[in-house]
Copies of this chain bind each other. A is one copy, B any other.
Amino acid sequence: MKVTVLSGGVGAARFLEGLSRTIEPASITAVCNVSDDLTWHGLHVSPDLDTLMYTLAGLEGEQGWGVRGDTQTTLERLREIGDEEWFSIGDRDLATHLYRTGRLRAGNTLTEVTQALMSSHGVKVNVLPVTDEPHPTIVRTAEGDLAFQDYFVRLRGAVPVTGFEFPGRDARPAPGVLRAIGEADLTVIAPSNPFVSITPMLVVQGVRQTLARMPGKRIAVSPIVAGAAIKGPAATMLESLGYEVSATAVAKLYQGLIDLFVVDTADEALLPEIRALGMDAVATDTMMTGSEGRARVARNVLAAAGFGESVA
Protein backbone atom coordinates (compact mmCIF):
# COMPACT_ATOMS: atom_id res chain seq x y z
CA MET A 1 0.00 0.00 0.00
CA LYS A 2 1.39 3.36 -1.04
CA VAL A 3 0.26 6.55 0.67
CA THR A 4 1.10 10.06 -0.51
CA VAL A 5 0.48 13.03 1.77
CA LEU A 6 0.27 16.60 0.51
CA SER A 7 1.96 18.37 3.39
CA GLY A 8 2.33 21.80 4.91
CA GLY A 9 4.14 22.29 8.21
CA VAL A 10 3.18 21.39 11.77
CA GLY A 11 -0.22 19.71 11.21
CA ALA A 12 1.10 17.62 8.34
CA ALA A 13 4.25 16.73 10.27
CA ARG A 14 2.28 15.39 13.21
CA PHE A 15 -0.03 13.44 10.92
CA LEU A 16 2.94 11.97 9.06
CA GLU A 17 4.69 11.06 12.26
CA GLY A 18 1.59 9.14 13.40
CA LEU A 19 1.27 7.55 9.97
CA SER A 20 4.91 6.49 9.95
CA ARG A 21 4.28 4.54 13.15
CA THR A 22 1.15 2.94 11.70
CA ILE A 23 2.33 1.75 8.29
CA GLU A 24 5.76 1.13 6.80
CA PRO A 25 7.50 4.56 6.65
CA ALA A 26 9.10 3.70 3.31
CA SER A 27 5.62 3.28 1.80
CA ILE A 28 4.80 6.92 2.61
CA THR A 29 5.67 9.87 0.38
CA ALA A 30 5.23 13.38 1.68
CA VAL A 31 4.95 15.98 -1.08
CA CYS A 32 5.86 19.14 0.76
CA ASN A 33 5.03 22.80 0.30
CA VAL A 34 7.98 25.10 -0.36
CA SER A 35 6.07 28.35 -0.86
CA ASP A 36 6.90 29.47 2.70
CA ASP A 37 10.60 29.22 1.86
CA LEU A 38 12.61 32.34 2.48
CA THR A 39 16.09 33.70 2.09
CA TRP A 40 17.33 34.62 5.54
CA HIS A 41 20.57 36.59 5.54
CA GLY A 42 21.50 34.72 2.38
CA LEU A 43 20.47 31.30 3.67
CA HIS A 44 17.79 29.17 2.03
CA VAL A 45 15.27 28.29 4.76
CA SER A 46 12.52 25.75 3.99
CA PRO A 47 10.29 25.85 7.08
CA ASP A 48 7.85 23.12 6.05
CA LEU A 49 10.52 20.67 4.90
CA ASP A 50 12.40 21.27 8.15
CA THR A 51 9.30 20.86 10.30
CA LEU A 52 8.67 17.48 8.64
CA MET A 53 12.31 16.50 9.12
CA TYR A 54 12.59 17.48 12.77
CA THR A 55 9.19 15.98 13.63
CA LEU A 56 9.85 12.69 11.84
CA ALA A 57 13.29 12.56 13.49
CA GLY A 58 11.73 13.20 16.91
CA LEU A 59 13.66 16.46 17.30
CA GLU A 60 10.95 19.06 16.86
CA GLY A 61 10.78 22.07 19.15
CA GLU A 62 7.94 22.65 21.56
CA GLN A 63 6.12 25.02 19.18
CA GLY A 64 6.29 22.38 16.47
CA TRP A 65 9.19 23.94 14.60
CA GLY A 66 12.92 24.27 15.10
CA VAL A 67 15.06 21.83 17.08
CA ARG A 68 14.00 20.97 20.64
CA GLY A 69 16.29 22.45 23.28
CA ASP A 70 18.21 24.45 20.69
CA THR A 71 20.38 27.37 21.82
CA GLN A 72 20.36 30.82 20.23
CA THR A 73 23.95 31.99 20.59
CA THR A 74 24.19 33.29 17.04
CA LEU A 75 20.77 34.94 17.08
CA GLU A 76 21.48 36.73 20.35
CA ARG A 77 24.78 38.00 19.01
CA LEU A 78 23.06 39.08 15.78
CA ARG A 79 20.65 41.17 17.83
CA GLU A 80 23.53 42.62 19.88
CA ILE A 81 25.23 43.69 16.65
CA GLY A 82 22.08 45.62 15.85
CA ASP A 83 20.19 43.37 13.49
CA GLU A 84 16.44 43.89 13.82
CA GLU A 85 15.83 40.23 13.57
CA TRP A 86 12.28 38.89 13.82
CA PHE A 87 12.80 35.40 12.45
CA SER A 88 14.04 33.18 15.23
CA ILE A 89 16.59 30.52 14.29
CA GLY A 90 18.48 28.34 16.78
CA ASP A 91 22.10 27.26 16.52
CA ARG A 92 21.41 23.64 15.55
CA ASP A 93 18.61 24.63 13.18
CA LEU A 94 21.03 27.05 11.54
CA ALA A 95 23.25 24.14 10.49
CA THR A 96 20.38 22.78 8.37
CA HIS A 97 20.06 26.08 6.49
CA LEU A 98 23.81 26.39 6.01
CA TYR A 99 23.98 22.83 4.72
CA ARG A 100 21.05 23.34 2.34
CA THR A 101 22.39 26.66 1.05
CA GLY A 102 25.89 25.28 0.53
CA ARG A 103 24.63 22.26 -1.40
CA LEU A 104 22.21 24.32 -3.50
CA ARG A 105 25.00 26.76 -4.39
CA ALA A 106 27.14 23.78 -5.36
CA GLY A 107 24.51 22.91 -7.97
CA ASN A 108 22.41 20.31 -6.19
CA THR A 109 18.62 20.45 -6.49
CA LEU A 110 16.36 21.01 -3.49
CA THR A 111 15.16 17.42 -3.96
CA GLU A 112 18.73 16.10 -3.71
CA VAL A 113 19.54 18.22 -0.68
CA THR A 114 16.28 17.21 1.02
CA GLN A 115 17.07 13.55 0.45
CA ALA A 116 20.52 13.99 2.01
CA LEU A 117 19.14 15.89 4.99
CA MET A 118 16.35 13.39 5.62
CA SER A 119 18.80 10.53 5.35
CA SER A 120 21.24 12.15 7.78
CA HIS A 121 18.32 12.57 10.22
CA GLY A 122 17.28 8.93 9.87
CA VAL A 123 13.93 9.83 8.28
CA LYS A 124 12.53 6.86 6.33
CA VAL A 125 9.48 8.62 4.90
CA ASN A 126 10.20 9.77 1.34
CA VAL A 127 9.95 13.55 1.57
CA LEU A 128 9.80 15.47 -1.73
CA PRO A 129 9.63 19.23 -2.16
CA VAL A 130 6.73 19.83 -4.55
CA THR A 131 9.09 21.73 -6.86
CA ASP A 132 12.80 22.45 -7.14
CA GLU A 133 12.03 25.90 -8.52
CA PRO A 134 11.37 29.17 -6.68
CA HIS A 135 7.65 29.32 -5.98
CA PRO A 136 6.84 31.85 -3.25
CA THR A 137 3.44 32.69 -1.81
CA ILE A 138 2.69 36.41 -1.85
CA VAL A 139 0.05 37.41 0.69
CA ARG A 140 -2.12 40.27 -0.47
CA THR A 141 -3.18 42.48 2.41
CA ALA A 142 -4.66 45.89 3.07
CA GLU A 143 -1.07 46.97 3.75
CA GLY A 144 0.25 45.73 0.44
CA ASP A 145 1.77 42.52 -0.88
CA LEU A 146 3.88 40.63 1.65
CA ALA A 147 6.19 37.66 1.50
CA PHE A 148 4.62 34.85 3.52
CA GLN A 149 7.01 34.92 6.49
CA ASP A 150 6.81 38.70 6.55
CA TYR A 151 3.05 38.37 6.99
CA PHE A 152 3.12 35.35 9.26
CA VAL A 153 6.14 35.88 11.51
CA ARG A 154 7.04 39.56 11.42
CA LEU A 155 3.43 40.83 11.47
CA ARG A 156 2.17 37.75 13.38
CA GLY A 157 -0.62 37.34 10.83
CA ALA A 158 -2.33 40.38 12.34
CA VAL A 159 -3.12 42.15 9.07
CA PRO A 160 -6.29 41.30 7.08
CA VAL A 161 -5.64 39.13 4.04
CA THR A 162 -7.37 39.97 0.77
CA GLY A 163 -5.88 37.25 -1.43
CA PHE A 164 -2.80 35.31 -2.51
CA GLU A 165 -0.51 35.43 -5.49
CA PHE A 166 1.80 32.71 -6.74
CA PRO A 167 4.28 34.28 -9.14
CA GLY A 168 5.94 30.87 -9.55
CA ARG A 169 2.66 29.13 -10.43
CA ASP A 170 4.20 27.67 -13.57
CA ALA A 171 6.86 25.92 -11.52
CA ARG A 172 7.58 22.40 -12.69
CA PRO A 173 7.02 19.56 -10.23
CA ALA A 174 10.12 18.03 -8.67
CA PRO A 175 11.12 14.55 -9.89
CA GLY A 176 8.83 11.88 -8.48
CA VAL A 177 6.04 14.22 -7.35
CA LEU A 178 3.46 13.44 -10.04
CA ARG A 179 4.22 9.74 -9.91
CA ALA A 180 3.89 9.70 -6.12
CA ILE A 181 0.43 11.27 -6.38
CA GLY A 182 -0.75 9.40 -9.47
CA GLU A 183 0.38 5.94 -8.36
CA ALA A 184 -0.65 6.13 -4.69
CA ASP A 185 -3.33 3.84 -3.35
CA LEU A 186 -4.30 6.74 -1.15
CA THR A 187 -3.48 10.42 -1.36
CA VAL A 188 -4.15 12.44 1.77
CA ILE A 189 -4.40 16.20 1.87
CA ALA A 190 -2.97 16.76 5.35
CA PRO A 191 -4.70 18.99 7.94
CA SER A 192 -2.72 21.96 6.62
CA ASN A 193 -3.64 25.49 5.63
CA PRO A 194 -5.62 25.26 2.36
CA PHE A 195 -4.52 28.70 1.14
CA VAL A 196 -0.81 28.82 1.86
CA SER A 197 0.17 25.15 2.20
CA ILE A 198 -2.07 23.14 -0.14
CA THR A 199 -3.08 25.56 -2.93
CA PRO A 200 0.54 26.52 -3.73
CA MET A 201 1.20 22.81 -4.38
CA LEU A 202 -1.95 22.40 -6.48
CA VAL A 203 -0.87 25.19 -8.85
CA VAL A 204 2.46 23.51 -9.64
CA GLN A 205 2.31 22.13 -13.20
CA GLY A 206 0.34 18.89 -13.33
CA VAL A 207 -0.32 18.45 -9.61
CA ARG A 208 -4.01 19.37 -9.60
CA GLN A 209 -4.64 17.38 -12.81
CA THR A 210 -2.81 14.32 -11.48
CA LEU A 211 -4.72 14.46 -8.21
CA ALA A 212 -8.04 14.89 -10.07
CA ARG A 213 -7.36 11.84 -12.27
CA MET A 214 -5.59 9.45 -9.92
CA PRO A 215 -7.21 6.01 -9.69
CA GLY A 216 -6.54 5.62 -5.94
CA LYS A 217 -8.51 7.11 -3.10
CA ARG A 218 -8.23 10.83 -2.32
CA ILE A 219 -9.07 12.21 1.05
CA ALA A 220 -8.53 15.42 2.99
CA VAL A 221 -8.38 15.94 6.73
CA SER A 222 -9.90 19.18 7.96
CA PRO A 223 -7.47 21.66 9.55
CA ILE A 224 -10.50 23.45 11.04
CA VAL A 225 -12.11 21.89 14.11
CA ALA A 226 -15.17 23.45 15.75
CA GLY A 227 -14.64 26.72 13.90
CA ALA A 228 -10.99 27.20 14.79
CA ALA A 229 -7.62 26.27 13.34
CA ILE A 230 -5.58 23.80 15.37
CA LYS A 231 -2.42 25.68 14.39
CA GLY A 232 -1.55 28.64 12.19
CA PRO A 233 -3.54 31.31 10.38
CA ALA A 234 -6.13 29.18 8.48
CA ALA A 235 -9.12 30.44 10.51
CA THR A 236 -8.04 34.08 10.32
CA MET A 237 -7.55 33.75 6.58
CA LEU A 238 -10.93 32.12 5.99
CA GLU A 239 -12.54 34.92 7.95
CA SER A 240 -10.81 37.85 6.31
CA LEU A 241 -11.43 36.36 2.87
CA GLY A 242 -15.16 36.25 3.64
CA TYR A 243 -15.53 32.50 4.08
CA GLU A 244 -17.34 30.83 6.93
CA VAL A 245 -14.77 29.53 9.44
CA SER A 246 -15.74 25.89 9.31
CA ALA A 247 -14.64 22.50 8.06
CA THR A 248 -17.31 22.87 5.38
CA ALA A 249 -15.59 25.94 3.93
CA VAL A 250 -12.39 23.92 3.56
CA ALA A 251 -14.27 21.00 2.00
CA LYS A 252 -15.65 23.41 -0.63
CA LEU A 253 -12.11 24.47 -1.53
CA TYR A 254 -11.31 20.81 -2.31
CA GLN A 255 -14.52 20.08 -4.27
CA GLY A 256 -13.82 17.91 -7.29
CA LEU A 257 -10.38 16.95 -5.97
CA ILE A 258 -11.23 14.52 -3.18
CA ASP A 259 -13.48 11.53 -2.59
CA LEU A 260 -13.71 11.85 1.17
CA PHE A 261 -13.45 14.64 3.70
CA VAL A 262 -12.53 13.77 7.28
CA VAL A 263 -13.72 16.09 10.06
CA ASP A 264 -13.28 15.89 13.77
CA THR A 265 -16.04 14.32 15.87
CA ALA A 266 -16.71 17.83 17.18
CA ASP A 267 -17.95 18.69 13.67
CA GLU A 268 -20.16 15.62 13.15
CA ALA A 269 -23.15 17.92 12.60
CA LEU A 270 -21.51 19.25 9.43
CA LEU A 271 -21.46 15.87 7.67
CA PRO A 272 -24.74 16.36 5.75
CA GLU A 273 -23.73 19.73 4.29
CA ILE A 274 -20.29 18.39 3.34
CA ARG A 275 -21.85 15.34 1.64
CA ALA A 276 -24.12 17.75 -0.23
CA LEU A 277 -20.92 19.05 -1.91
CA GLY A 278 -20.64 15.73 -3.72
CA MET A 279 -18.06 14.00 -1.56
CA ASP A 280 -18.15 11.40 1.14
CA ALA A 281 -17.58 12.64 4.69
CA VAL A 282 -16.80 11.01 8.01
CA ALA A 283 -16.20 12.27 11.52
CA THR A 284 -13.47 10.80 13.67
CA ASP A 285 -11.09 11.90 16.39
CA THR A 286 -8.51 14.09 14.63
CA MET A 287 -6.89 15.64 17.71
CA MET A 288 -3.19 14.72 17.49
CA THR A 289 -2.38 15.10 21.15
CA GLY A 290 0.86 13.41 22.08
CA SER A 291 2.61 10.63 20.29
CA GLU A 292 -0.23 8.12 20.80
CA GLY A 293 -2.77 10.67 19.57
CA ARG A 294 -0.88 11.10 16.32
CA ALA A 295 -0.81 7.37 15.63
CA ARG A 296 -4.50 7.07 16.55
CA VAL A 297 -5.47 9.85 14.14
CA ALA A 298 -3.42 8.23 11.37
CA ARG A 299 -5.18 4.88 11.94
CA ASN A 300 -8.61 6.53 12.06
CA VAL A 301 -7.99 8.41 8.85
CA LEU A 302 -6.77 5.24 7.14
CA ALA A 303 -9.83 3.40 8.42
CA ALA A 304 -12.15 6.17 7.20
CA ALA A 305 -10.56 5.74 3.79
CA GLY A 306 -11.28 2.01 3.95
CA PHE A 307 -7.78 0.86 4.91
CA GLY A 308 -7.70 -0.97 8.23
CA GLU A 309 -9.81 -0.45 11.30
CA SER A 310 -10.32 2.61 13.42
CA VAL A 311 -9.27 2.83 17.05
CA ALA A 312 -10.89 4.53 20.00
Interface of A toward B, CB cutoff 8 Å: 39-44, 71, 73-75, 77-78, 80-83, 91-92, 94-96, 98-99, 101-102, 105, 116-117, 120-121
Contacts and interface: CB of A to CB of B under 8 A. Distances in A.
Copies in the complex: 2
Contact of A81 (B73, B82, B83, B95): B95
Nearest to A105: B42
A121 B77 CA distance: 11
A81 B102 contact: no
A81 to B, nearest CB: 5
A68 to B, nearest CB: 13
A102 B101 CA distance: 14
Given A42-B43, A116-B82, A77 B105 contact: no
A98 B73 CA distance: 13
B102 A74 contact: no
Given A39-B105, A43-B42, A95 B77 contact: yes
26 contacts: A39-B105, A40-B102, A42-B43, A42-B44, A42-B101, A71-B91, A73-B73, A73-B92, A74-B94, A74-B98, A75-B95, A77-B92, A77-B95, A78-B95, A78-B98, A80-B95, A80-B120, A81-B95, A81-B99, A81-B120, A81-B121, A82-B99, A82-B116, A82-B120, A83-B99, A83-B102
